[in-house]
Amino acid sequence: MRPKHVPGQLLTLVALLMLGCAVGADKREVPSSQRWTSRAIPEARGEVKEIEGKRVQIRYRHEPFSTFTVNYEQWPTYAYSDNRVFSQPARVAMPDLKGDPARGRQLFMARNKAPCTGCHLIPGDDVWPAGSVGPDLSVIGDRRLPDRYLFELIWDPRLFFPNTSMPPWGPAGILSAEEVVHIVAFLQTLKGNPPFVPPPEKDPTRNPHTRPTILPYYGDNLDPATNPAVVFADNALSVWSAKGPAGKACADCHPGGPEKAMKGVATKYPKYLSAYRRIMSIGDLLTVHTPETTGREMLAESADNLNMTMLIKMQSNGMPVNVDITSPEAAAAYERGRAVYFKRVGQRNHACADCHEADRGAGRYAGARLLSPVREGLTKHFPLWFNAYLGVWDIRKRFQVCMLPLGMNYLPADAPEYADLELYLTAFDNGKPMSVPGIR
Q: Who's near 341: CB < 8 A, 6+ residues apart?
A: 351, 352, 353, 374, 421, 424, 425
Residue 118: CB minimum distance to ligand HEC, A: 5
CA distance linking residue 103 with residue 176, whole number of Å:
13
Among 24, 95, 135, 245, binds ligand HEC (CB under 6 A): 135
The pattern of x and - marking residues 357 through 376 that bind ligand HEC according to CB under 6 A reads ---------x--x-xx----
Among 350, 364, 396, 397, binds ligand HEC (CB under 6 A): 350
Check the CA dihedral 71-72-78-81 and report its sign.
positive
The verdict on 188 binding ligand HEC (CB under 6 A) reads: no
Which among 41-49, 91-99, 121-129, 160-168 is the span making contact with ligand HEC, rule CB under 6 A?
160-168
Residue 69: CB minimum distance to ligand HEC, A: 19
The verdict on 169 binding ligand HEC (CB under 6 A) reads: yes
CA distance linking residue 173 with residue 169, whole number of Å:
6
CA distance linking residue 116 with residue 135, whole number of Å:
11
Phi-psi group of 73: left, alpha or beta (phi > 0 → left; psi -120 to 50 → alpha; rest → beta): alpha
The verdict on 378 binding ligand HEC (CB under 6 A) reads: yes
CA distance linking residue 108 with residue 58, whole number of Å:
32
Judge whether 280 and 33 are in contact, CB under 8 Å: no
Nearer to ligand HEC, 150 or 434 (CB): 150
Judge whether 429 and 345 are in contact, CB under 8 Å: no
The verdict on 149 binding ligand HEC (CB under 6 A) reads: no
The verdict on 349 binding ligand HEC (CB under 6 A) reads: no
Which among 36-44, 53-61, 89-97, 352-360 is the span making contact with ligand HEC, rule CB under 6 A?
352-360
Judge whether 431 and 321 are in contact, CB under 8 Å: yes
Judge whether 48 and 1 are in contact, CB under 8 Å: yes
Nearer to ligand HEC, 79 or 150 (CB): 150
How many other CB atoms are there within 10 angstroms of residue 105's CB atom?
A: 22
Residues in the chain: 440
The verdict on 79 binding ligand HEC (CB under 6 A) reads: no
The verdict on 289 binding ligand HEC (CB under 6 A) reads: yes
Q: Who's near 192: CB < 8 A, 6+ residues apart?
A: 138, 139, 142, 198, 199
Among 130, 185, 229, 250, binds ligand HEC (CB under 6 A): 250
- Distance from first CA to last CA of the chain, Å, rounded? 36
How many other CB atoms are there within 10 angstroms of residue 253's CB atom?
A: 10
The verdict on 64 binding ligand HEC (CB under 6 A) reads: no
Among 40, 119, 121, 127, binds ligand HEC (CB under 6 A): 119
Among 44, 130, 166, 321, binds ligand HEC (CB under 6 A): 166
Residue 52: CB minimum distance to ligand HEC, A: 31
Among 352, 423, 434, 436, binds ligand HEC (CB under 6 A): 352
Residue 329: CB minimum distance to ligand HEC, A: 15
CA distance linking residue 170 with residue 360, whole number of Å:
22
Among 44, 154, 323, 434, binds ligand HEC (CB under 6 A): 154
Judge whether 330 and 272 are in contact, CB under 8 Å: yes
Q: To the nearest 10°, the Cα dihedral for 395, 396, 400, 401? A: -20
Residue 356: CB minimum distance to ligand HEC, A: 6
Nearer to ligand HEC, 34 or 165 (CB): 165
The verdict on 127 binding ligand HEC (CB under 6 A) reads: no
Q: Who's near 69: CB < 8 A, 6+ residues apart?
A: 56
Query: Residues interacting with ligand HEC, by CB under 6 A?
Result: 108, 114, 116, 118-120, 133-135, 137, 140, 150, 153-154, 161, 164-166, 169, 175, 183, 187, 248, 250, 252-254, 265, 282, 285-286, 289-290, 293-294, 308, 312, 350, 352, 354-356, 366, 369, 371-372, 378, 395, 398-399, 402-403, 406, 421, 440
